[in-house]
Structure 1
Amino acid sequence: MHAQCFKKIMTSLSKMYTKKIKKQISETPYNVPYVPNIWGAGLEIQNFGMKQYFYHVVFPEYFPKSYMLNALDFILGTHPVVNISCFASRIGVGLLTQAYRINRGEHSHIPRGIGSGTALIRLIFPNLLNAPVYGNKPNMF
């Protein structure tokens, strides 16, 4: 970041990207850009939060740490309405039991695995539905 020309270009791009983020955040009640496709946007929100850390380190005047922390809050279960489920398995109040890892097809459990987000049941807000767990409790390794 020592070359003035490069810094000027990056500053200009950062300003434009910040405007885009603010617009996306204003369109949802989640305080993060939430643009689901077939399934939820949980993995994209994790990616967004991780990138925001690096943006904040380089350009704290354009990328406040609240962007990164809002993404973390979302993954840990801070959602509007009744959905307080966490997308990291076995963390928080609403316990996600099956996460997206190599065990997905066998309906087993890996602690702190990450789910992709909410199922798109298009009412007012997306809902988080747990995958079926066979037996009385999930398989624990």
Structure 2
Amino acid sequence: MTHRFQCRVYYEDTDFGGIVYYANYLKFIERARSEWVRALGLDQRAMKEGAGTVFAVRRITAEYLSPARFDDLLDVETEVVSVRPARMTLRQRVLREGVVLFDAEVELVAIGPEGRPVRLPEVLRALAG
């Protein structure tokens, strides 16, 4: 299952040369993950207010392949690579007109109110099968 999220590059996303500042790719994939979780029916605010569970990035490996520029329309793809009880790994890619500009592997962990790993919500653990 691949989730797709579109975003436009705004002036604020770019550097002096009109190229997307490298750290903003992390913002783009974060927004895409939030929309992916929402599409799965999870309410992150309710998770935090109820059980005190939040998601945190444990590790990210990224490759910057080609620059995005001001006013580009980007597609962010999110795919599940693996799921374990308290963490999961996603592959996220940022594309412009089908060309991959940024490719990342992101490991997420579910964190409880004490700051320790807890089990992922069932809907995410079910993605393992």
Shorter-normalised TM range: under 0.3
Larger fraction in helix: 1
Q: Give the TM-score normalised by the residue count of structure 2.
A: 0.24
Structure with bigger strand share is 2
- Name which one, 1 or 2, has greater alpha-carbon Rg: 1
Normalising by structure 1, report the TM-score: 0.22
Query: More relative contact order in 1 or in 2 (CA 8 Å, sep 6+)?
Result: 2
